Amino acid sequence: MTATITENLAPIEVAERIEAMDVLRGFALLGILLMNLEGFVGPVMASGSGLDPALSGMDRTVDLLIYILVQGKFYTLFSLLFGMGFAVMSQRAEQAGRPFAGVYWRRSLVLLAFGMVHAIFIWAGDILMMYALCSFLLLAFRPLPTRWLVPLGLVTYAMPVGFMYLMGAMGSVLGGTEGWDKAMGEIGKQMQVLIESERTAYGSGTYAEATWQRLKSTGMALSNLTMFGFIVFGMFLLGAWFVRSGAMARPREFPRLYAVLRWIALPIGVLAMLGSVALEPTMDFATFDLRISTAFALQMLANLLMCLGYVAWVVRALGAPWWRRPLSALAPAGRMALTNYLMQSLVCTWMFYGYGLGYFEQLPRAWQPVFGLALFALQVLVSHLWLSRFRFGPMEWLWRSATYLKRQPLKIRAG
C-alpha cells in the first residue's frame, strides 16, 4: 500500500506552476541577500540592531535605505510565499485524491535538516529552521475555512507586539530600580560578548572555531522562536489565503485588494517605518521601555504592510507587457530558491570569513548593495542555464527526492 501511494506522488511540473510565485521568490531572494549582507560582512547578531551609529556619509545613507526598505520586509515575504506553497500542495493533493500529511511531514523534516546543516556549518543567520519548525503547525490549520485565514493570520502576527508592549510597560515602570537595571544590564553584556565572540571567530578564526560559534549563535537565535515564530506563522496563514482565495492565481478578479495594497498599505508602511526610525534608530540591548516597544510595533506594522505592498506591485507589473519580460527573468532564480539561498551563504562566508578570503568587516556599507546586485545577477544567469537542462535546482531535487521517497528525474528529456 505504501509503495503504491509513494508512486502516485510527484512534484508539480513547470507548466503547473504559478509564475507570479516564482517571480516573487526571485524578488525575495534579492531582498534577502541585501538584508543578510550586513550579517555576512560583520557579526550576525549586530546586523539586526538597526542603524549603525558609527557610520557616516554614503555608508549611513545606504544603511538607512536598507533598514527602511529592505530589513524585515523580505523574510516576511518568504514566509508569505511558504504559506502559498503549502496551500498549493494541499489543493493539488485534494484534487488528485492523494494523501498529504505524510508527504508534508517528510518535506518539513528534510527542510529542518537543511536548516540545521546551514546554520551550524555555513551561516548562523539561517531562517530555514524557523520555517520548518513553524510549518508543522500548518497541518492543524488545513481544515479551516478560507475566510478565517486572514483574521487568524493577523492576530497571530500581532501577538509578539502585545508581548513587547507588556515588556515595555514593565521597563517603563521598573526602570531605575536595582533589580530591573541589573537584569537588563546583564542581557546587554551577554549580547556584547556574543557579538565580540562572533567578530573573533568569523573574522580570524579557523573553520572549527567558526562552527563552534555558529552553534552557540544558533542556540541564541532559536530562543527567539516564541517571538518570531508567531510572525512567521501569521505570514504562513496569510500566504495560504492568497492561494485558496484565488488572489494569486487570478489577480484580475481582485482589483480592489491589490489597489489597496499598492496605494494605501505600502505608503502607510513606509510612514510607520519612518516613525520607528525616529523613535529608536538603534537598538540598545540593555534598555527596554514603552518608547522602544512602540518603535518595535511600528516596525512590525511596516514589515507587514510593505511586504504586501511589494507583492501587489510585482503582481501589477507582471500584467504590464513592458515589465513582464524583465520580471519573468527572475522566475528561474525563484524556482531554485533553496539552492540560491544556500549558495548566497556559501559564497559570502567564503568571501568574508577568516577561513576564506578574509574580507570580514572590510566591505564598506555603501558597496554592499553593489556586491549583492552583482552576485544576484550571476545567480539569475546560472539559474537560467541550469534549468535549461535540468528540471530542478540541485537542492530542490534532493529535497523532492527525500520528500517523495523516490529519486526524481533531474535531466530534461528531449521532446
For residue range 165-224, list pLDDT tens digits in order: 888 888 888 877 878 888 888 888 888 999 999 999 999 999 999 999 999 998 888 877
Task: Give the pLDDT score at 7.
Answer: 38
Task: Give the pLDDT score at 414.
Answer: 59
In whole angstroms, what separates CA 390 from the centre of its chain? 26
Average pLDDT over residues 137-161: 94
Show the CA angle centred on residue 32, arms to residues 392 and 260, nearest 5°.
Answer: 100
d(CA 73, CA 273): 11
At 251, list the grid cell. 489577480
For the stretch 287-324, pLDDT in tens is: 888 999 999 999 999 999 999 999 999 999 999 888 99
d(CA 337, CA 10): 19
Compute the mean pLDDT over every residue in the chain, rounded to the nearest whole number: 91
- Kindly provide the b/e burial profile for residues 187-197, where b requires at least 16 CB atoms within 10 angstroms of the residue's own CB: eeeebeebbeb
The residue among 346, 345, 349 whose CA lies nearest residue 359 is: 349
Task: Give the pLDDT score at 99.
Answer: 82
Task: Give the pLDDT score at 2.
Answer: 34
The residue among 48, 66, 210 whose CA lies nearest residue 124 is: 210
The residue among 172, 179, 178 whose CA lies nearest residue 287 is: 172
Average pLDDT over residues 41-65: 94
Q: Look up residue 59 and give its amino acid.
A: D
**pTM for this one?**
0.92
d(CA 76, CA 86): 15
Average pLDDT over residues 67-90: 95
The residue among 17, 87, 57 whose CA lies nearest residue 396 is: 17
